[in-house]
A and B are shown apart, each in its own frame.
Chain A
Amino acid sequence: MTLEMLIGASVFAATLRLAAPIALAALGGVTTERSGVTNIALEGSMLVGCFFGVVAADRAHNVWIGLAIAILAGVLLAGLHAYAAIALRADQIVSGMALNILALGLTTYLDYQMYGTTGTPADLPVLPDVQLGFLKGVPYVGDAIGSQNLMVWTMGVLVVLLQLSLFRTVAGLRLRAVGEHPRAAETVGIDVRRIRYAAVLASGALAALGGAYLSLGVAHSFTDGMTGGRGFIGLAAMIFGRWTPVGALAASLIFGYGNALSTSLQGASIGDVKVPVQLLGTLPYILTILAVAGFVGRSRPPAADGLPYETEGHA
């Protein structure tokens, strides 16, 4: 095992690459849960983003149309969840679970019907990397961030924007009020349902961005179930990051780093003992459990998170 394997520039670059989709899903999680709606269908929104992004980019021969359709698909799936959770006051976990299964079944079904066993086309237009020429030759930094995908930078911008709007704007205050105490929020004239709809739809868009990044930015193809639970890791990052955008990013970076290590440490050994790289994969989940249980800080959800809200007078 060498230091390069632990903190090399390539490990740093990989950390960012692996953290970005998780962070985007986590931002979605922060948005929806801050408004009081649990949305475990982020995994599903991500997956339909992956698939429909590829289909649209392929058909239109244009990656930006692919990206737009990916977002639309994620929003539509989230819309179903919003309708079930807000209008029908359905159980949010069951609805989210149903939509995750739907997303997996739908994309796998359509993938089979459209691309059969040959896979998605090789000439797929893809999301570009941002080449920072002026960093070329700068030691470490150049290799680490000189050639990252556009979506990694987009993610970074979104973290800042969301952090500011959530805690420094009226709209953000309203969103948080709705998630903490919807009745009080309504009493001062805030439309609880509208804000919740907006938040859930936005969460679908954010998760789908992460999905589009996976298929159009990283893999340059679609494979069945390719999100592999990243939507759920995003939820973990949201929890570990205490329901704040910056915290979620930090958590995503930790999880991404663990992920990067499990590649860079492949086959490495300490003395005679091989590093059990597979176990690094458990890191996000165990850290999250410890965080929620209060062994590593204390992570507390918004007070009205996951609770259906009935408008006064609609008993």
Chain B
Amino acid sequence: MTQQQQPATTGPGTTIPAPSVRQLTFQWAGGPAIPVLSVVIALLLGAVFVLLSGNDPVAAYAALVQGAFGTPYDLTETLVAAIPLVLTGLAVAIAFRTGLFNIGAQGQLLVGALAAGWAGAQFASWPGIVLMPTVIVFGVAGGAFYGGIVGFLKAVRGVNEVITTIMLNYTIVFVMHWLLQAGPMSAPNALGTPASTPIGAGARLPVIIPNELVLFSRLHAGIILAALAVVVFWFVLWRTPLGYRLRAVGLGAHAAAQAGIDPARHMVLVMAIAGGFAGLGGMIEVSGIFGRVYDGFSSSYGFDAIAVALLGKNSPLGIVFAALLFGAFVHGGAYMQSHAGISSNLVAIIQAFVLFVIAAEALVRSLTRRRGARKPVEAIA
């Protein structure tokens, strides 16, 4: 990556026309048509699959919807499931915006969870007003550190981030085994699963739905943090010079370098920010749901996140919608299995179809007969 220092004759933001409100809200290239179509195609393929395996697709999907939205409680559970997907989705999307493929949201989330869980237990006696921010900082910093490694290796040694993130995802799984089974974070418990010491009361995110409204709801204040994160994502990318530079690197590293933007530095930065989002997601799971870190507590958020980001076209609102959809899949899937007798893994199959259809975007475009309007898949390259 060559760096040519040239004086910036124009300040960031002055060279491009101000985006319209619609653009700012969606930032969804070509509108939501393609993502929606992808989901429809995936659902149809899923239905064919259910049919082939000798079950009733209508019953399956009815149970899925019933399970996800049937009662106020289910609705809140769908939201609970969507929260980590929003955060990891942001982690993948902001990297995409800078031209990097972050497969590592999974690992970054786990490091954030471990860091937050450690701090929450270590300083358990602190009052909430001090402890909560501390735990948040640890979660974000843990994820940022883990993501930063990826950016650093990419910037300094030119290592493909796909390789690094895959390797780091697995690395942390084994580090986690060690930490929780035999290492410094392992705590004796009767749970059957290795786990850390419970975090202090002040580190727990409170449930925000009173029992009078929805009995035993688990919907916690993490949803507020997630919403804030979405706003931060939007604000940083489209309302700050840093975001402008990040997007410039994503659209063309060489051109950005010509304009005096150091791509290497911004790759490190964006991976740290991405890791921070995912780490916050891990912190929220520990503080809002589990109250401690369980060994292997999250197996697939990070991979679902890639589907979330791609389906949401790396836009703030798109990510929220996609995360809600997948959250509904996750929570509704369990109900579908228990009530319609169809394995909840149908949901994974549908998700896979969604991703595959998005990957094969050319196919969808030819179906929508808009070949003339073919655009480069800017985010993926």
A residues touching B (Cβ–Cβ < 8 Å)?
40, 80, 84, 88-91, 93-95, 97-102, 104-106, 108-110, 112-113, 229, 232-233, 235-236, 239, 274, 276, 278-282, 284-286, 288-289, 292-294, 301
Digitize B111-151: 1 where CB-to-A-CB distance is under 8 Å, 0 elsewhere.
00000000000000000000000000000000000000000
How far, in angstroms, from A274 to B347 measured CA to CA in the complex? Answer: 42
**Shortest distance between the CB of A173 and any CB in chain B (Å):** 26
Instruction: State whether A105 touches B351 (Cβ < 8 A).
Output: yes
Instruction: State whether B359 touches A113 (Cβ < 8 A).
Output: no
User: Given A105-B348, A282-B171, does the pair A90, B183 have CB atoms closer than 8 Å?
Assistant: no
User: Given A109-B53, A279-B178, does the pair A285, B346 have CB atoms closer than 8 Å?
Assistant: no
Instruction: State whether B363 touches A278 (Cβ < 8 A).
Output: no
Instruction: State whether A239 touches B178 (Cβ < 8 A).
Output: no
How far, in angstroms, from A255 to B172 measured CA to CA in the complex? Answer: 17
B62 on the A face (CB < 8 A): no
Instruction: State whether B343 touches A286 (Cβ < 8 A).
Output: no
How far, in angstroms, from A268 to B342 measured CA to CA in the complex? Answer: 45
Cβ-neighbour of B157 out of A97, A112, A294 (below 8 A): A294
User: Given A90-B360, A98-B352, does the pair A109, B343 have CB atoms closer than 8 Å?
Assistant: yes
Digitize B339-381: 1 where CB-to-A-CB distance is under 8 Å, 0 elsewhere.
0001101111101111110111111000000000000010010
Instruction: State whether A232 touches B166 (Cβ < 8 A).
Output: yes
User: Given A93-B103, A288-B167, does the pair A99, B159 have CB atoms closer than 8 Å?
Assistant: no
**Shortest distance between the CB of B375 and any CB in chain A (Å):** 14
For A279, the closest partner residue in chain B by CB is B178
**Shortest distance between the CB of A115 and any CB in chain B (Å):** 11
* 25 CB < 8 A contacts A-B: A40-B166, A88-B359, A89-B362, A91-B380, A98-B356, A100-B303, A102-B349, A104-B348, A105-B346, A108-B343, A109-B349, A113-B54, A229-B170, A232-B170, A236-B167, A278-B175, A279-B175, A281-B170, A281-B173, A281-B174, A285-B168, A286-B167, A289-B159, A292-B160, A292-B163
CB neighbours of B54 from chain A (8 A): 113
Cβ-neighbour of B170 out of A101, A108, A239, A285 (below 8 A): A285
Interface of B, secondary structure class, is helix
Cβ-neighbour of A88 out of B55, B166, B363 (below 8 A): B363
B181 on the A face (CB < 8 A): yes
User: Given A112-B345, A278-B178, does the pair A88, B171 have CB atoms closer than 8 Å?
Assistant: no
Instruction: State whether B359 touches A95 (Cβ < 8 A).
Output: yes
How far, in angstroms, from A274 to B249 measured CA to CA in the complex? Answer: 47
Instruction: State whether A105 touches B182 (Cβ < 8 A).
Output: no
Instruction: State whether B360 touches A101 (Cβ < 8 A).
Output: no
User: Given A93-B101, A274-B182, does the pair A289, B360 have CB atoms closer than 8 Å?
Assistant: no
How far, in angstroms, from A274 to B181 measured CA to CA in the complex? Answer: 12
The size bracket of the interface on B is: 35 or more
User: Given A88-B360, A94-B355, A235-B166, does the pair A101, B380 have CB atoms closer than 8 Å?
Assistant: no
Digitize B63-96: 1 where CB-to-A-CB distance is under 8 Å, 0 elsewhere.
0000000000000000000000000000000000
Instruction: State whether B352 touches A94 (Cβ < 8 A).
Output: no
How far, in angstroms, from A80 to B358 measured CA to CA in the complex? Answer: 14
CB neighbours of B353 from chain A (8 A): 98, 102
For B380, the closest partner residue in chain A by CB is A91
Cβ-neighbour of B362 out of A90, A105, A289 (below 8 A): A90
Instruction: State whether A88 touches B178 (Cβ < 8 A).
Output: no
**Shortest distance between the CB of A265 and any CB in chain B (Å):** 12
For A102, the closest partner residue in chain B by CB is B352
Instruction: State whether B181 touches A278 (Cβ < 8 A).
Output: yes
Instruction: State whether A281 touches B177 (Cβ < 8 A).
Output: yes
B214 on the A face (CB < 8 A): no
CB neighbours of A99 from chain B (8 A): 352, 356
CB neighbours of A88 from chain B (8 A): 359-360, 362-363
CB neighbours of A229 from chain B (8 A): 170
How far, in angstroms, from A194 to B359 measured CA to CA in the complex? Answer: 21
How far, in angstroms, from A130 to B235 measured CA to CA in the complex? Answer: 64
Instruction: State whether B53 touches A293 (Cβ < 8 A).
Output: no
How far, in angstroms, from A89 to B380 measured CA to CA in the complex? Answer: 12
CB neighbours of B55 from chain A (8 A): 113
